[in-house]
Amino acid sequence: MLIEHILSVLRQLKLDGMARAFQEQVEQPGTVSDLPFDERFGIIADRELNHRDSRRVERLLKNAKLKFPSACIEDIEYHASRGVERSVIKSLATGDWIRHGQSITLTGSTGVGKTWLACALCHQACRQGFSALYVRASRLFEELRIAHGDGSFQRRLSTLAKLDILFIDDFALAPIGAAERNDLLEVLDDRIAGRSTIITSQRPTKTWHEYLNEPTVADAILDRILHRAHKLVLGGESRRKRESGKE
């Protein structure tokens, strides 16, 4: 009866990790019966900490809405033709680029794995406790256009500004107008003080100024993106073609 009471109290306190660990010790006493009380309790406390860490990572990954949620750096393919250097990924995997408010650009032709690689970097960041959000550029601009109309624009900017990583996919895929340029500048300006951005694009970064098509705003946008960015240029054959068996 006492055991059930303890389990009930732990669950009421939302200490699910401790409850599971305590129940395991009760059901399998032989594994810990010879340990002193403080060590047995330490095992239970560690389980609660690990449980909370796991739940937090799960929540961060869910909120990130990654296009490829299972992408992870352990599965990255390193080929000379891809232009992905193991030393660069190893450095980025530490998360120091996020702590220093740096950004990443991934460019290359369609199908070479830009989005997948960026998702793997976001996945790694979430595992380290950083928040992230994936959004296609066209959808971001549409969301901001609607936010202007319903009066939620500043609130949306504030939400985006709090993210450790904003991942903008398929940048410069469609023509851009004055409203989209100005909104992009607003989003990036809020991130200049210690927040990181990942941008993928089929266009090389050297063509982005021409694409933005307004010198003053383009200078401001690119300064905020490229000034402290890790620039990854991917090559090689299309992963989609290879995986589908096409030549």
Predicted local distance difference test score (pLDDT) of residue 8:
78
Interval 43-64 mean pLDDT:
82
pLDDT at 48 over 80: no
pLDDT at 190 over 80: yes
Predicted local distance difference test score (pLDDT) of residue 147:
97
Quick one: what percent of the chain has pLDDT higher than 90? Answer: 66
CA dist., res. 153 & res. 1, Å (int): 56
Tell me the CB-side half-sphere exposure of residue 50, using CA atoms within 13 A: 11
Residue 204's contacts (CB-CB under 8 Å, 6 or more residues apart) are 107, 233
Predicted local distance difference test score (pLDDT) of residue 243:
59
pLDDT at 244 over 70: no
pLDDT at 78 over 90: no
For the question of whether the overall pTM of this predicted structure is more than 0.85, the answer is: no
pLDDT at 246 over 50: no
CA dist., res. 229 & res. 224, Å (int): 9
Helix (H, G, I), strand (E, B) or coil at 1: coil
Quick one: what percent of the chain has pLDDT higher than 70? Answer: 92
Beta bridge partners of 107: 201, 233
Cβ atoms of 234 and 108 closer than 8 Å? yes
Tell me: the pLDDT tens digits for 15-27?
777 678 777 777 7
Cβ-based burial of 31 (10 A; exposed 0-12, middle 13-18, buried ≥19) = exposed
Write down all domains in the chain, each with its CATH number in brackets: 2-63 (no CATH), 65-244 (3.40.50.300)
Predicted local distance difference test score (pLDDT) of residue 51:
66
Interval 5-33 mean pLDDT:
74
Tell me: the pLDDT tens digits for 108-134?
999 999 999 999 999 999 999 999 999
Predicted local distance difference test score (pLDDT) of residue 184:
97
Predicted local distance difference test score (pLDDT) of residue 24:
75
Interval 99-114 mean pLDDT:
95
Higher pLDDT among residues 20 and 168, named by residue: 168
Cβ atoms of 108 and 117 closer than 8 Å? no
